[in-house]
Structure 1
């Protein structure tokens, strides 16, 4: 076997190995999660995914982004706390929530069926924010909550549509406090996004045209 033949065989193998290594990498959380402009500058593809979500569901970008920060701190592989039997024996997780959006398995399955997004993964940002757009849009239809009302949307997200109707959050002072925090962050994100959206859109168009 000559040198050229060997290189012809080895190069595709090296490329395949590199791709497999990269596919196993998890996108790190943004360095400055308090600023939505910095988040999207660091992860520009997230902005494109958020724009697609907005186009599809009519949900303002800053609403699910503030909720996602609360749920997972933008960690792709986020998991809920462990459950313990008798208070000290590890016994799985407290729920089936997983990923950026902390979507539970049954709700995620409903999303896949209703959105026709059969290849969706909870640890993929684009899929996760599209799921949140779907949920927020459905919340408006079921419980009449505005897509811009982050406070009530978060309570629906946490308690479920039935729980929100029954006002189960009234027995959870800590949850009401968290919902107010998420709402405050959404207002901050919304103001920040207005200041950098032209820049982000320009960058998106540049990438679309020249890459």
Structure 2
């Protein structure tokens, strides 16, 4: 009897704790996102001060990478159409950072306890990575289009221009740019 009471309590606590990791309800309005997720505004402002990357560029990138799902993963691969063979990549969390790049970030920043499913760690990673894109490839921090291409292809892939023959990726980068402009205009009214 005692164990069933403990199990019920754990289940209730687990069910009630899902609010922070649920994506915001209105992904088309940056003010609504930050109103719903109170700590996120503070996290974005901290990253803007630390790395100089505007919040709207980070938010637009998160929208296209994970749709603000804290535990987002890439789809599974299947053999013969039915046998699961793992994930398409190790990309995970808000930022969809892959294992190797996330490890590089943790070493470079000393943030060894960073977790990809924590919003504050994810946006710090993105600010750091985009700052590196500026250093390595000269991409303006406000240039959501090229920041996204470097984010998706990596610094070396961007430098080589590996995105040029990938029209689908150029289309996504254009959508990231448009969303960053939208979010920027919204953020100017709600700050």
CA distance in 2 between partners of 1:122 and 1:23 (Å): 22
Task: Name the larger-Rg structure.
Answer: 1
SS at match of 1:171: coil
Q: CA deviation at 1:85?
A: 2.5
Q: 1:87 Cα deviation (Å)?
A: 4.3
| SS of equivalent to 2:134 | helix
In 2, distance between residues paired with 1:23 and 1:31? 17
TM-score (normalised: structure 2) = 0.90
Alignment of 1:120 with 2:106, yes or no, is no
**2:50 is aligned with 1:53:** no
Residue 35 of structure 1 corresponds to which residue in structure 2? 29
Root mean square deviation, CA, Å: 2.0
1:21-63 CA-partner distances (Å, limit 9, x unpaired): 4896352100101100000000110111111111111111100
Q: 2:3 matched to which residue of 1? A: none
Partner of 1:144: 138
Q: Write the distance in 2 (CA, Å) between the matches of 1:24 and 1:106.
A: 30
Following TM superposition, the consecutive aligned residue runs of length 4 or more in structure 1 with deviations greater than 6 angstroms are none
Structure 2 counterpart of 1:180? 174
TM-score, with length taken from structure 1: 0.82
Structure 1, unpaired ranges of 5+? 1-12, 198-211
Closer, same or farther in 2 for the Cα pair 1:32/1:96, shift >3 Å?
Answer: same
Deviation of 1:190 after TM superposition, in Å, equals 0.5
Q: Check 1:38–1:135 CA distance in 2 against 1; reply closer, same or farther (3 A cut).
A: same
TM superposition shift of 1:135: 0.4
Note the C-alpha offset of 1:159. 0.6
State whether structure 2 residue 63 is matched by structure 1 residue 78.
Answer: no
Most deviating of 81-90 and 59-68 = 81-90
